[in-house]
Structure 1
Amino acid sequence: MIALRKFLSDRGFWSRDDGAVLTEALVAVPFITLFAAGVLEFGNLFWERMQIDAGLRDAGRYLARCRPDSGTYDPTCNAVTAKMIAFYGTQSPAANAALRVRGWGPDAADITIVPVDADGTITVQTSHVYQSSPVFSWLGIDQITIRSSHEERYMGW
């Protein structure tokens, strides 16, 4: 052991700065990478929340400004059209139209429409399980559920 210490000190191993930057980079880069990935993941989470809010707002506006389904008026509002507006941004999407949010669509999500209540408002609400990258599972974060609702005053025609 003494011979190894003498060998390293004679060569100037402990007093040289060569490789210090590489060593610091090897320690810092994994943390910086994980931090950057986390920032991007949370940014995507907030973006999806904004897209879901926009879809619910559009569906609520559609339902608030059209005739109730009474059978005497044409056209009438229906929940299917409101959901299409929420999911795609249009009431008649093309065959290959992209959803506003990946995984939040007619087959995967549940939009609840509460009809006109005593206050004269329509409420559109949903919950969506966020489909995250592996970053959250590495950090030990469970599934994140995005819950959102929009309330609109019924105006009719």
Structure 2
Amino acid sequence: MTKLRQIIRRFQGDERGVALVEAAITIPLVLLLSAGVFEFSKVLNTRLLLAAGVEDAARYMARCSSDWNTCVTRAQNLAANGAVSSGSERVAGWLPEAVNITPTSFVATDVSTGTQLYLSNKSTVDVVTVSTSYSYPDVGFLSYLGFGALTLSVSHQERVIGW
């Protein structure tokens, strides 16, 4: 025990190497924080690209004047690839088949009260809903923090003008 006290007393007034010790303590924390910021920004960017694709597809479907199947195929490709034919993928691994397009009709006037719910020149209002789910590829950092697989889900609705 006395030997240990002697060693500690010898280093008490010595400040050489303090910067190295501080760096050894703070650098791992700064790197961890930086990795978290980069990973979060990548997830957020992917989510924004998915949302932009779904919104583009919904707007296209709302104004498409071709037959339903042709419009759906083009809109799915527009969502995933940024163009109605070919194009380059917006998000790696996001395929046109993962884009779901559903038409819905709403009653324009409430029959029981006669209240007009939507402005329309017919009894119904057509709305198209475009949605998708994307499994975010884990690069490992999120699993270290205890997060499981991350699935990003996006949807958008547009009132139909075309059909």
- Give the aligned partner of residue 93 of structure 2: 103
| Aligned length, in residue pairs | 145
Instruction: State which drifts further: 116-125 or 40-49.
Output: 116-125
What per-residue deviation string (whole Å, max 9, x for no partner) do you get for residues 67-114 of structure 1?
Answer: 2527xxxxx8431111110011001115xx3x10112123xx622111
Matched, 1:92 2:85: yes
Match of 2:58 among 40, 57, 60: 60
Q: 2:37 and 2:61 mapped to 1: Cα distance?
A: 36
Aligned partners of 1:84 and 1:93 also within 8 Å: yes
Residue in 2 that maps onto 1:19: 17
TM-score (normalizing by structure 1): 0.83
Question: Deviation of residue 8 (structure 1)?
Answer: 5.0
| Larger strand share, 1 or 2 | 2
2 CA distance for matches of 1:113 and 1:3? 77
Shift of 1:139: 1.0
Partner of 1:154: 160
Over the matched positions of the two proteins, sequence identity in percent amounts to 36
Tell me the SS of whatever aligns to 2:30: helix
CA–CA separation in structure 2 for the residues paired with 1:110 and 1:4:
66
TM-score when normalising by structure 2: 0.81
State the AA in 1 paired with 2:67.
D
Q: CA separation of 1:7/1:27 partners in 2, compared to 1, >3 Å: closer, same or farther? A: closer
How much has 1:132 moved relative to structure 2?
2.8
- TM-superposed CA distance for 1:46, in Å, is 0.7
The alpha carbon displacement at 1:66 in A equals 1.3
- RMSD, matched Cα: 1.9
Corresponding position of 1:73:
none
> How far apart in 2 are the matches of 1:126 and 1:67?
23
